[in-house]
Chain A
């Protein structure tokens, strides 16, 4: 038996570690979803009791809520491990940093998406979302969420060690998230007006795949710079 685990095993063990850390304090996990519920509620209250108006913009509200709720937590994904020296350990280990980061962003995606899926019925009621939209909404947040977490890792690596990282980070990554949100909203929007949502979906998947390839390399490069300072 080889004493060296394969990359897949290392990958899975990383995801397990992130889950251990994040699910230890449930505040971390539930804060994103509860923040999103609050944002959506504020929007709905702001619009007032006009069902017709809400139906037109509910997709947009959902996506804005998702993006705004995710951003504050992004900084923490790498900052914690940077401060306690875990990234130093990862970089001086035989495991490639890119693998560590890919597993980190996948774990982050799961950690965001699981509570969100559980609370999806609440959003459907709050935003009065049509039943035929639900499967497409589900697909769009699954794929879009993965993109956002891959982009988020880049932003988080970029602001490592920066003093005002929590302000800098949204400014840096929201422009990158814009295409994701356009195609994400486009999917449900196309279904709403009885057109095919597949064009938008394929574009969204394409973007996600591109980010999946480049994000670990860019963020590993950035982390090496941050650590060498």
Chain B
């Protein structure tokens, strides 16, 4: 069980969440929905550890996640609209340097498979500056495949399907299915719920924040 209890999250001077609690089921997909500006991305960034939580507890299976940042870092993948791809590197180099940064020893075979999982194998030598938004997003999502090999428990995805075409959405669905089989937990910010063919819990911030 993953839960937030009485958390207060500030973004700059604005208090986005005040004494707010929520529960998230492990090994399931939870879609965070709500209108623009309600704090979906802020919540996700706070859980990822980028925005400090001023007050309150965030626990995963009774462990406070921010007690051990390094362990929490091993457990999560965060992807948002910025993608984190360097435009001077190719798709392949970006994935490689990213996995090296996390300290993962990946074989070339793994990298190839990861690129294949989002059908980027034909574009692997493209520079990111030459890629369309959709290709960039797919290059970023190829990390998800790698994370399947390294026992990552959480995927925090901020609007991952925005730039994807229909075929890529199917590939994305497949990745999520595989992750759920591995007992992974997915937190997803998304507006178009009909894209997904898996069961999900809904965390509607409009209703929960009142």
Contact indicator per residue, chain B 83-112, by CB within 8 Å of chain A (1) or not (0): 111111100010001101111110000000
**Chain B min CB distance to A92 (Å):** 4
- In Å, the complex CA distance between A90 and B85 comes to 12
Which of A66-74, A80-88, A145-153 is the interface stretch? A80-88
Q: Are A92 and B73 in contact (CB under 8 A)?
A: yes
- In Å, the complex CA distance between A224 and B78 comes to 16
**Chain A min CB distance to B8 (Å):** 14
Which of A13-21, A123-131, A173-181 is the interface stretch? A13-21
User: Given A21-B88, A85-B80, do A94 and B150 touch, yes or no (CB 8 Å)?
Assistant: no
- In Å, the complex CA distance between A90 and B93 comes to 16
- In Å, the complex CA distance between A90 and B99 comes to 11
Residues of A within 8 A of B86 (CB): 17, 21, 80-81, 84, 86
Q: Which residue of B48, B80, B84, B102 contacts A94 across the interface (Cβ within 8 Å)?
A: B102
Q: Are A5 and B93 in contact (CB under 8 A)?
A: no
Total contacting residues, chain B, CB less than 8 A: 33
**Chain B min CB distance to A227 (Å):** 5
B12 in the interface, Cβ–Cβ < 8 Å?
yes
**8 Å CB contacts to A: which residues of B5-53?**
11-12, 48-52
B203 in the interface, Cβ–Cβ < 8 Å?
no
- In Å, the complex CA distance between A224 and B45 comes to 12
- Using CB atoms, name the residue of chain A closest to B143: A89
**8 Å CB contacts to A: which residues of B114-154?**
150
- In Å, the complex CA distance between A38 and B101 comes to 38
- In Å, the complex CA distance between A21 and B90 comes to 10
Q: Which residue of B49, B93, B98 contacts A91 across the interface (Cβ within 8 Å)?
A: B49
**Chain B min CB distance to A16 (Å):** 8
Interface of A is mostly: helix
Q: Which residue of A21, A24, A94 contacts B73 across the interface (Cβ within 8 Å)?
A: A94
A9 in the interface, Cβ–Cβ < 8 Å?
yes
Q: Which residue of B73, B74, B100 contacts A10 across the interface (Cβ within 8 Å)?
A: B100
Q: Are A93 and B102 in contact (CB under 8 A)?
A: yes
- In Å, the complex CA distance between A95 and B97 comes to 13
Q: Are A94 and B97 in contact (CB under 8 A)?
A: no
**Chain B min CB distance to A18 (Å):** 10
Residues of B within 8 A of A229 (CB): 11-12
**8 Å CB contacts to B: which residues of A55-83?**
80-81, 83
Residues of A within 8 A of B89 (CB): 17, 20-21, 24
What are 8 of the A-B contact pairs (CB < 8 Å)? A4-B103, A10-B100, A80-B86, A84-B86, A86-B84, A92-B49, A94-B102, A224-B52
Given A5-B103, A17-B86, A88-B78, output 15 extra A-B contacts at Cβ < 8 Å: A3-B150, A13-B97, A13-B100, A13-B101, A21-B89, A84-B87, A88-B80, A91-B50, A92-B77, A94-B71, A94-B102, A94-B103, A96-B70, A227-B51, A229-B11
Binding site for B on A (CB under 8 A): 1-5, 9-10, 13-14, 16-17, 20-21, 24-25, 80-81, 83-86, 88-96, 100, 224, 227-229
Those 7 A-B pairs whose CB atoms lie nearest each other, nearest first: A85-B82, A13-B100, A85-B84, A89-B84, A94-B73, A94-B74, A92-B78
